[in-house]
Amino acid sequence: MQAKGGIMAGLYKEEHHIFRESFRRFVDREVVPHIDSWEEKGIVSRVAWRAMGEAGFLCPWLPEEYGGSGADFLYSVIIAEELAKAGAVSLMAPLHSDIVAPYLAALGTEEQKRRWLPGAARGEIILAVAMTEPNTGSDLAAIRTRAEKDGDFWVINGQKTFISNGILADLVIVACRTGSPDSGAKGISLICVERGAPGFHRGRNLKKMGLHAQDTAELIFDECRVPAENLLGQLNRGFYHMMDHLQQERLMACIMAQAMAEAMLAMTIGYARGRTAFGQPIASFQHNAFKIVDMATEVTLGRTFLDRLVADHMAGKDIVTEVSMGKAWIAEMANRVAYQCVQLHGGYGYMEEYPISRFYRDVRPIPIFAGTTEIMKLIVAKRLQLI
């Protein structure tokens, strides 16, 4: 279902197609055979992260001096799409490469960039970003995890939850309150906490409905001490730094959801053509054919919109309104598709041995993370000056 022409025809070059083929082979060899075992263990092996790094599949956009290859954003799109299509969204390389590393590259001092980015590109320093707390998620300005200055150190106290890569992470960008308790958005700073920092503890690797191989975890900061120079960006500007990065974060979520919708539709069309009932393929019952047509239409609409978002993002445009619309619509669309695809598989759709079952579970959190569907609509409503 992936559009070959249209807006992307002028952006994708021969080298992108070659890269896609080579990454697909890598995923078939290094990722797909291990997914079941990672799901059982609740975590992806570090070996896979290092293999991704060695092959140049982490942070490909970073300049060479920081360990990348200066690749354009389409390489990140390809990696996110191919992982999603392979049913491997639990390997959250796109979060590491295209959501967290950009904070370091954009806000880091030269010293911070040299210290962390090459290791991130090699897959030796796995990255996470910790905003959500047990008492606040959507209302980011209400976070309570506190960081106080003590000489040359920050002392952090508080708890974060639902943090992707939370167990594996070697470096976590933590949103902390550095202003007064009632300072809201104006009193938040970003502080980098490294594995081994005194007082930095991992909580539970949370048991989830899906994404079973993803180490979504609790993080606890108990008199956690990190050097003062681990402040990332400007003091008390953390909320605005996060807002600046949400366009790409939400675009990555759209890319993941769209690729999953395309994969689910393709596998379901194949299944529905081959499965017979009452002496005919189940796809040929008009009800099912029309259901598939409706899904194909929505998936094509999603692809067309997403391609425009990617092109506009690459052109440096402010697409916060459109990307918020896209995050809300594409994530919900992918879930509608997941529901109907399981239904078309009948009982087999509910069985682990059929990939649709994992896709159904794994696509569910996309309308929740990176800003819920409701928060996306709130942003659009504000931008349309409705509220």
Ligand X SMILES: Cc1cc2nc3c(=O)[nH]c(=O)nc-3n(C[C@H](O)[C@H](O)[C@H](O)COP(=O)(O)OP(=O)(O)OC[C@H]3O[C@@H](n4cnc5c(N)ncnc54)[C@H](O)[C@@H]3O)c2cc1C
Enzyme catalytic residues:
249
Contacting ligand X within 55-84 (CB under 6 A):
none
Tokens of 197: 């920092």
H or E, element range at 232: strand 231-232
Taking the complex as a whole, how short is the minimal distance between the CB of residue 370 and ligand X, in angstroms?
Answer: 6
Question: Is 375 one of the binding residues for ligand X (CB under 6 A)?
Answer: yes
As measured in angstroms, the least distance from the Cβ of 211 to ligand X is: 5
Asked if residue 159 binds ligand X (CB under 6 A), the reply is no
Paired tokens of 377: 């609509």
Q: Which residues contact 320 (CB under 8 A, 6 or more apart)?
A: 246, 247, 379, 383
For 121, the enclosing helix (H) or strand (E) is helix 110-122
Tokens standing for 278? 């009452």
Q: Does 372 bind ligand X (CB under 6 A)?
A: yes
Question: Nearest residue to ligand X, using CB?
Answer: 137
Q: Which is nearer to ligand X, 125 or 163 (CB)?
A: 163
Please state the φ and ψ torsions of residue 38, each to the nearest 5 degrees.
-65, -40
C-beta separation of 241 from 183 below 8 A: no
Q: Looking at 19-27, 73-81, 122-130, 317-325, which segment touches ligand X (CB under 6 A)?
A: 122-130
Number of residues that bind ligand X (CB under 6 A): 19
One symbol per residue from 202 to 241: x for binding ligand X (CB under 6 A), - otherwise; what is it? ---------x----x-------------------------
Which of these ranges, 5-13, 29-37, 282-290, 366-374, lies near ligand X under the rule CB under 6 A?
Answer: 366-374
Q: Is the separation of the CB atoms in 97 and 73 below 8 Å?
A: no
DSSP labels for 187-226? GEEEEEEETT-TTEEEEEE---SS-TTS--EEEEEEEEEE
Does position 138 interact with ligand X (CB under 6 A)? The reply is yes
129 near ligand X, judged by CB under 6 A: yes
- Which residues are at the interface with ligand X (CB under 6 A)? 128-132, 137-138, 162-164, 211, 216, 365, 368-369, 372, 374-375, 378
